Structure 1
């Protein structure tokens, strides 16, 4: 029964040789490795990016972070700059590098998160407030 289930699973297509640093071969060569990220096909990635851009609250953003962690093994960390946050560009959005994560995806996720924050500044205020950077203002 497991063999039938695994044949229906679509994995992300390989990037052209030399075009990406995703280390997909390393992931395939290790049976103990976390291969959940390969479930993020290009079509699914587009759906994820669109969904991120539609996030409407800080609670929804946290929920999305948890879902990405649980379903794909992706760690997304958003921290304010030590020099202060005047715009969304003052936030440091990092995707933890992992084998199998395409270079384009590493760039597209922070871009989608920034667009979300630009469209919903209340999320940024809540993010800063959660870190007590506004000091109760």
Structure 2
């Protein structure tokens, strides 16, 4: 295991996570960005998601996640009729070093944000041409 020049997330209890942290640390050419998400960084990310107030801001946060963590965050309408926020598909891509807990808490925070801000949900649906006159 190599020493990295930045703090990394504490190791998860054995069997509790599928983050492949040790495997990533053993790879000298690995992408270590997901390991930078310490508990404090996770709290900052979740607080940032909670502050999203527009669709453009949501897109900006998606890009920040992609650039800083290296994992894609997909938010799109489900294949069936969308009647509630539960019909929106939110997927945080699995990436070695990315904790399972974080992959669950980020979509949950986005769903809470969409519940509080229906205008963002409408803009998301409109961006995927669900309100378009095709």
Q: Secondary structure at the match of 2:90?
A: strand
Number of the residue aligned with 2:72: 75
Counterparts of 1:1-137 in structure 2, within 5 Å, are 6=5, 9-135=6-132
Give me the whole-angstrom Cα distance separating, in 1, the residues matched to 2:106 and 2:68: 15
Give me the whole-angstrom Cα distance separating, in 1, the residues matched to 2:49 and 2:87: 19
Give me the whole-angstrom Cα distance separating, in 2, the residues matched to 1:88 and 1:20: 27
**What's the offset of the Cα at 1:82?**
1.2
**What's the offset of the Cα at 1:18?**
1.2
Give me the whole-angstrom Cα distance separating, in 2, the residues matched to 1:97 and 1:59: 24
Give me the whole-angstrom Cα distance separating, in 2, the residues matched to 1:132 and 1:17: 44
Structure 1 unaligned regions, length at least 5? none
Q: TM-score, normalised by structure 2?
A: 0.93
Q: Give the count of matched residue pairs.
A: 131
Kindly report structure 1 stretches of 4+ aligned residues shifted beyond 2 Å. none
**What's the offset of the Cα at 1:34?**
0.8
Give me the whole-angstrom Cα distance separating, in 1, the residues matched to 2:61 and 2:80: 27
Structure 2 unaligned regions, length at least 5? none
**What's the offset of the Cα at 1:74?**
2.0
